[in-house]
Structure 1
Amino acid sequence: MSRRILLVTTLLLAGCTSGTPTPTPTPPPVKSGFKLVAFDSCEQLTKDLKAAAKKSVGPWGFSGGMMRTFGAVPDGARSAASAGGTADKAAPAFSGTNVHEVGVDEPDIVKTDGKRIVTITGGSLRVIDAASHKATGQLPLDAWGDADLLLSGDRALVLTHQGGGDVLYDRKMPMRPAGAELILVDLTGAPRVISRYRGEGRLVDARQTGDTARVVLTSQPRITFPDRPAARDDDEDRIKANQRVIDRTSVDAWLPSWTVTTGDTTEQGKVACNDVRRPVTYSGRSMLTVLTFPLSAPKLDSGRPVSIVADGDTVYGTPTSLYVASDQRWRLDFFPGRDNRTVPQETDVFRFDVTGSEPPVYRAAGKVPGFLINQYALSEWDGHLRVATTDSAQQSSAVRVLKPDGETLTQVGEVDGLGKNERIYSVRFIGPRAYVVTFRQTDPLYSLDLSNPAAPRVTGELKITGFSAHLQPVGPDRLVGVGQEATEEGRRQGTQVSLFDVSDPAAPRRLAQHHVKNGYSEAEYDPHAILWWPDTKLFAVPVNEGLLALTVTDNGLTEAGQIAPRASAMQVRRNLVIGGELWTLYENGLQISRLSTLEPVTYLRL
């Protein structure tokens, strides 16, 4: 989501990049999946969950919950479909959210349908008329925590993650439990709340196809562990005490509950035992739940939950599939010196079919070595799933190709040995090709041919200083990379934007680079902050408190202009195009400029 801070544990890799990797000989098919099965009964569910939880609990409870950036990245769509709404033929051309797959929208802090802009600032949803440059509505959300939204016609779905802790302790001032709140808003006339859905756990991410939103939550059991002072017991005693608490806990503590309030009516419920599925191995410390909400419905309901005894941290969607991935870093207790367990270098991937407004249907699951950098490390193409991961134990990265085989995602091909002693910083799959950036001291951009799923191969490599944290397609055979310039020793030097020519698979080239010394950009970790407007070849990203606007040609990058920081406007967050105007969203206002010259027209304080 848009304001999450990347807290991914740094992969400790030594050494420098070696030459172009030798493609690994194509292995025989690997059964990289596992079936999801239902529990026989509520009693069996209780017994198995307790057994798994007792194995995974540490001296300080279920610690180690990690927040990571999940969403985000690119294809520069510019239609109402990409913005999640139904096109109004009278609306001017406009830019949608920068998303991974065309036809699948992603939550962000601002949306537009070409006639109005909907954004969330200062705890309120605000509606702005694009033609008059005037705010037409404001709705205090009465919600706390970060918020994003989806838009469909005259409906907005606000998604909030409300902070809190992974565990509750016996303290005089108990931590407020983490939770997610979804707010369905009617935008006809003055904006008003239709329904509020409150669910337990952390909001992982969401995807929207047509007018249907699918929201992914992950929750921990509601267990209060004793607060045991360090001087009283050693770690083994603490673990045994925590296990005794688990033994006394009811299965209700694991089953996600929810409430929905519409007007004066509140409904509540929880996931039923027979609606829970499990993989072969699981921790018992988390539950993954996928909710489905048609935004055109009269109100929100239970979301018709689909639950799995698993964790989830990365969501990727296509118009017909939803993938949720989870690596094994939940096993770590992130208190230094308190946990010496080795983390398995592997990631679980669950695939669901999505059709119309029906709940997702589980189809297959797989397991791959290594960890994902973000959703762009996943790509479905021609009936196959391509996955790029870094294995810190092996100190290298790989791209693997999986194919559904019944309920198993079976590996049919791989290219290993990418970026020896480095880790992946960005990935972009485009049809039968892939581009992978690894980095420690220099930035190899690898070009891969995946046209034969059984025999993927590296075709070329480009070594340059710095790295690209995101790769954005900007036309045939052209990529723009946004990241950091660095010295030959790997010291970062500020934001850089590079234009790559990838027309020759054997010899990718950097055609141009724009460097902002000591710069930093939100686009480096959240590609929603990128604006790519093909009509005028405008590529814009926030840099420090201002905006960097570049014109992309076939052979270079030229500065189209800058929108300087405003003294009282704080930093730039997003940019939108509506007709002939560029709208720049600050944290407390909107700057409207002429698209052709970036000359300011007016500023609207929010």
Structure 2
Amino acid sequence: MIMKRMVITGIALVVSLFIILYGVANWGVSAEVKEESQVVPVHKDWTVVFSKEMNKESFTDETIQVINKKTGEKVPTTFEVSGNGESLNIFAPKGGYEVNQDYTLTISKGVTSVRDVELSKDFTYTFTTSKELPAIGSEEELKAILKKFQNEDSSMRMTVEESADVSASSEDSASSSSKTNIQVNGVDEADLVKNDGEHIYYARNNDIVIAKGSPIEKAKVLTKIDDENFIPNQLFLYNDRLVVLGYQHQSLPRDAKEEASAADSMIRPNFRSHMAVRVYDVSDPTSPKKVRDLNLEGNYLTSRMIDGQIYVLSNEYTSIHHLEEKKQNDQEVRPTFKDSAVSEDFQPIPYGKIHQLPGSKYSSFLTIASFDVTDDSTPANVKTYLGAGDTVHMSKDNLYVATRSRSFPVDAFFATSSLPEDLEQSTKIYQFHVENGDLTYNGEADVPGQLINQFAMDEHDDSFRVATTTGQFGGDENPSLNHLYTFDLSMTPIGKVEGLAKGERIYSVRFMQDRAYMVTFKQVDPLFVIDLKEPSSPEVLGELKIPGFSNYLHPLGDDHLIGIGQDTEVVKSDGRERVVTKGVKLSLFDVSDVSNPLEKDVAIIGGKGSHTDASHDHKSLYIHPDGNLFGLPIQVSEEYERKSQGAYLYKITPENGFELQATITNDQDYNVERRWESRISRMISLNDTLFTLSHEELKAVDLSTMKEVKTITFPKQNSNE
């Protein structure tokens, strides 16, 4: 009897367990929106996450609706189910939602999982549109957000000053003087050197040298700007205003106890550094006068200038621990800034101007400041966003800030010496609309993978294009792949081409009107030609495989490209193949037949160890106003032994390829290691004279004869240390 009872009990338990498991497996599907705020910009896209893999066919215009609560009208949205079927992306209507309106997103319970299980009940989510992102209202709210980020900030990012659609110059190409090689016509970029056709302005480590360059007979150093505790990095020049971007060191007071502690002084230096923007009136270049000073807490990211309106971006890392430490030391927890148009004192960014970027989990402040460089009295427009920026693209109408993210816990990173093969990578791109110096957040988009640099982004007509690499370069389990995505200007995805060059990664990208050119590399250099005439359906038209790779692509007319990179060879070592870089490689690509691109000519400079700044800094490429004379600084080595450093000047035409015109060097003896001060970093031309610039001197060469005509020694730099 006891045995029979035990058997019956056992059977009952098994049946009960089966019923429970079956019930769980077939329990109604749940849905949620993982968002911090229900007050959103008008171009907000929504992602709904489901508890089970969904049947894509069950999502229709009837089961998914967005209703304007005031009018009761249905909004014409579009949607897309993610690859794994567990999330649904609902895109804002073209032109966006109406501002300051309440909306209800509804997903009916008629939608089903792949196992035909229905949504447990109708899912509804309400939201309100706003012209700007909601502000962080108080210190308590800021702390609460940072505490939440403490274990979620899983990114390993590197803030870089980005490097760039069809190349342009920073002034009209009809000018007789060369200008900075920039990304977008009409959107100037800061550089080490600027000129006004007569005068040369050059930023060195500790000062700015101003020299007269034309006419050559009167060429000489006029003066230098040398401010204590200020390190200039880059320059803009607009009419008679010289804008200098750099870093300002500020001493901090210490009490006697702190001064007595040598260990503490090493851990906590008694100074802080912040980025600074200084504006000088150079209507008289011999006597520049500082007329404005703007200081931002954080590290310089990048800057742009449009018709005298400057835009400056900075990043500052923060954390809940950082905020608490500041509070204990009676320091302001918000980022601070100083604008001489308002006050000579630092002041905190108002909480009303600190916003959280949607979807960002970064404990960083991204600050964007803009002002008219010709107006010394109107306050700068300064906004701060809780988030971060890595790579920036700017058109005349929109600013795009890309931020890399990886779902990889920080503690796991410190517990291993390498990245996992299945590391999930993505990039979020934020769009800000630009109008008369004001920037308004407009929307965002997510793309798989990471961007190589600013050239990976481009705006053309009514579309935005971006190229990315996913996976692990050289990895076996999750090999790298390369992709191109297109969006409309409300950041709604419209097209893509994916899965190019498995096992390789992007080395350079160039967007030219209705085409994109992409260079990937592992052992050979494929050049892909991609048609973007129809943004909704990008298409690979042709491909070329050659040795070496190009880090930078520059257009030469409509049907040719100049590639700047490295020559390579594959060598065998210990039974394995590896790629070794050799000399600097210049390639001329003919893309007139898009289905059959050709490498029309090649120039190799130097051997192993040779390199050029132009491969990673497009602004170091000199371009003569007539468009056929190019120069680049190159360090020449053989078997990693340095031989020389100088400027190489080429005439480049589709008909004759690369024709070396001159090499210019400051080295007196190629076998002697020269000081870095002699290194040529830039070239410019005024009328018929080419100038090379190093920290030591300005050398002039007659472009008609290619002979040196004058050398001007720069004054010795003072130390700011």
TM superposition score normalised by structure 2: 0.69
Structure 2: distance between partners of 1:181 and 1:312 = 18
Secondary structure, aligned partner of 1:108 = coil
> Which residue of structure 2 lines up, in the alignment, with residue 270 of structure 1?
348
Tell me if the contact between 2:356 and 2:386 (Cα under 8 Å) persists in the aligned partners.
yes
Which residue of the partner structure matches residue 151 of structure 1? Answer: 237
Choose the corresponding residue for 2:339, options 256, 260, 268: 260
In structure 1, what is the equivalent of residue 638 of structure 2?
A: none
Which runs of structure 2 are paired with 1:20-39 in the superposition (5 Å)?
Answer: 31=89, 37-39=133-135
CA distance in 1, matches of 2:514, 2:651: 28
Query: How far apart are the structure 2 equivalents of 1:81 and 1:280?
Result: 39
Alignment correspondent of 2:666: 565
Judging changes above 3 Å, is the alpha-carbon distance between structure 1 residues 472 and 118 closer, same or farther for their aligned structure 2 residues?
same
- Sort the Cα spacing of 1:486 and 1:209 in 2 relative to 1 into closer, same or farther, 3 A: same
CA contact (8 A) 1:575 1:582 kept: yes
CA distance in 2, matches of 1:129, 1:194: 22
Q: Aligned pair in 2 of structure 1 residues 458, 341: CA closer, same or farther (>3 Å)?
A: closer
Distance 1:448 1:509, change over 3 A: same
Counterpart for residue 70 of structure 1: 162
Q: Name 2:616's counterpart in structure 1.
A: 525
Contact 2:406 2:426 (C-alpha < 8 Å) held by counterparts: no
CA contact (8 A) 1:384 1:401 kept: yes
Structure 2: 5+ residue stretches without partners: 1-78, 83-88, 93-128, 251-262, 473-477, 571-577, 636-644, 669-673, 715-721
1:362 and 1:209 mapped to 2: Cα distance? 19
Matched, 1:312 2:389: yes
| CA–CA distance in structure 2, aligned partners of residues 383 and 143 of structure 1 | 45
Q: 2:186 & 2:542 partners in 1: Cα distance? A: 31
The one of 539, 543, 561 aligned to 1:461: 543
Larger radius of gyration: 2
Map Cα deviations across residues 171-193 of structure 1 (whole Å, 9 max, x no partner): 44215545211111111220122
Name the structure 2 match of 1:22. Answer: none
Is 1:185–2:185 an aligned residue pair?
A: no
Question: Residue in 1 aligned with 2:704?
Answer: 596
CA deviation after TM superposition for structure 1 residue 161, in Å = 4.2
**1:338-353 equivalences in 2 (<5 Å):** 338=415, 344-353=424-433
C-alpha RMSD of the superposition: 3.3
The equivalent residue for 1:13 is none
CA contact (8 A) 2:157 2:405 kept: no
The one-character-per-residue Cα deviations of 1:356-377 (angstroms, maximum 9, x if unpaired) are 3x22122121111111111100
Contact 1:472 1:480 in 2 (8 A): yes
Alignment partners' CA distance in 2, 1:99 and 1:143:
30
Of the three residues 399, 403, 422, the one matched with 1:326 is 403
For residues 214 and 246 of structure 1, the distance between their equivalents in structure 2, rounded to whole angstroms, comes to 31
Superposed counterparts of 1:219-258, under 5 Å = 219-221=316-318, 254-258=333-337
> How far apart in 1 are the matches of 2:628 and 2:419?
50
Q: Which amino acid aligns with 2:441?
A: Y
Aligned residues: 539
SS at match of 1:469: strand
State the Cα distance separating 1:101 from its structure 2 match: 0.7
Q: Which moved more, 1:385-394 or 1:565-574?
A: 565-574
Equivalent-residue separation in structure 2 for 1:134 and 1:335 (angstroms): 58
Instruction: State the 1:150 CA deviation.
Output: 0.8
Tell me the amino acid that sits aligned with residue 434 of structure 2: V
Q: Is the 8 A contact 1:73 1:526 kept in 2?
A: no
The unaligned stretches of length 5 or more in structure 1 are 1-26, 165-169, 226-241
Over 3 Å counting, the alpha-carbon distance change for 1:279 and 1:223 in structure 2 is closer
Distance in 2, matches of 1:295 and 1:198, equals 14
Matches within 5 A, 1:371-520: 371-393=450-472, 394=478, 395-405=480-490, 409-488=491-570, 489-518=578-607, 519-520=610-611
The superposition leaves residues 92-112 of structure 1 with CA deviations (integer Å, 9 ceiling, x where unpaired) of: 611110011111110110001
Please state how far the C-alpha of 1:578 moved relative to its aligned partner.
1.1
Aligned positions of 1:28-67 closer than 5 A: 31=89, 37-39=133-135, 41-42=137-138, 45-56=141-152, 66-67=158-159
Change (3 A) 1:51 1:250: farther
Matched to 1:309, the amino acid is L
Cα distance 1:152–1:105, how it changes in 2: closer, same or farther (>3 A)? same
Instruction: Give the Cα separation in 2 of the matches to 1:402 and 1:591.
Output: 47
Shift of 1:427: 0.4
User: Given that residues 304 and 312 in structure 2 are in contact (C-alpha distance below 8 angstroms), is that contact kept between their aligned partners in structure 1?
Assistant: yes
Q: 642, 653, 656: which is aligned to 1:553? A: 653
- Quote the residue 2:257 is aligned against: none
Take 1:255 and 1:118, find their aligned partners in 2: how far apart are those partners?
35
How big is each residue's C-alpha offset from its partner over 1:147-185, in whole Å with a ceiling of 9 and x where there is no partner?
101111111111114699xxxxx9442155452111111
Q: Structure 1 length as normaliser, TM-score?
A: 0.81
**Partner secondary structure for residue 550 of structure 2:** strand
Measured in 2, the distance between the counterparts of 1:108 and 1:331 equals: 36
Distance in 2 between the 1:262 and 1:509 partners?
55
Residue 51 of structure 1, CA deviation:
2.6
Contact residue 165 and residue 512 of structure 2 kept, 8 A: no
